[in-house]
Amino acid sequence: EPEVTQTPSHQVTQMGQEVILRCVPISNHLYFYWYRQILGQKVEFLVSFYNNEISEKSEIFDDQFSVERPDGSNFTLKIRSTKLEDSAMYFCASNRDSRNEKLFFGSGTQLSVL
């Protein structure tokens, strides 16, 4: 089965630094998502992206966050100035159709902010 690929699997950064988390969605998918899971908490929706623009975002997704599909294959999440509370596992997901019930998730990037 095709896979969503996320790199790196683990990223450590200093508070205040910018980080970019990278994802390669499945090639014929059109809708892209970021979710995150803070240790011990629920998996939370951050943002959905379609046709080169954000289609929906949560309250978590403030001005410190941005997403981009720079080259037609990668889908990135940038955190401009990381805070301690940004430490979490970040999951990328994709599907062909936003109404399609099957989301394909990557294995996640564990972000640790020190």
Residues that bind other proteins (CB under 8 A): 3-4, 6, 31, 33, 35, 41-45, 48, 55-56, 58, 91, 93, 98-99, 101-108
Could you tell me the smallest distance in angstroms from the CB atom of residue 33 to other proteins?
8
- State the pairing for strand pair 53-57/43-50: antiparallel
Of 52 and 80, which has the nearer Cβ to other proteins? 52
Minimum distance, C-beta of residue 45 to other proteins, in the bound complex (Å): 5
Of the two residues 17 and 112, which places its CB atom closer to other proteins in the complex?
112
Please identify, using beta-carbon distances, which residue of 63 and 99 lies nearer to other proteins. 99
DSSP 18-35: -EEEEEE--TT--EEEEE
Residue number, 13 or 103, with CB nearest to other proteins: 103
Q: In 56-95, which positions are buried (b, 16+ CB within 10 angstroms) versus exposed (e)?
A: ebeeebeeebebebeeeeebbbebeebeeebbbbbbbbbb
Q: How far apart are the first and last CA of the chain?
A: 36
- HSE at residue 39, side-chain half, CA atoms within 13 A, is 8
Q: How far is the CB of 4 from other proteins (least distance, A)?
A: 7
- Least distance in Å: CB of 94 to other proteins? 11
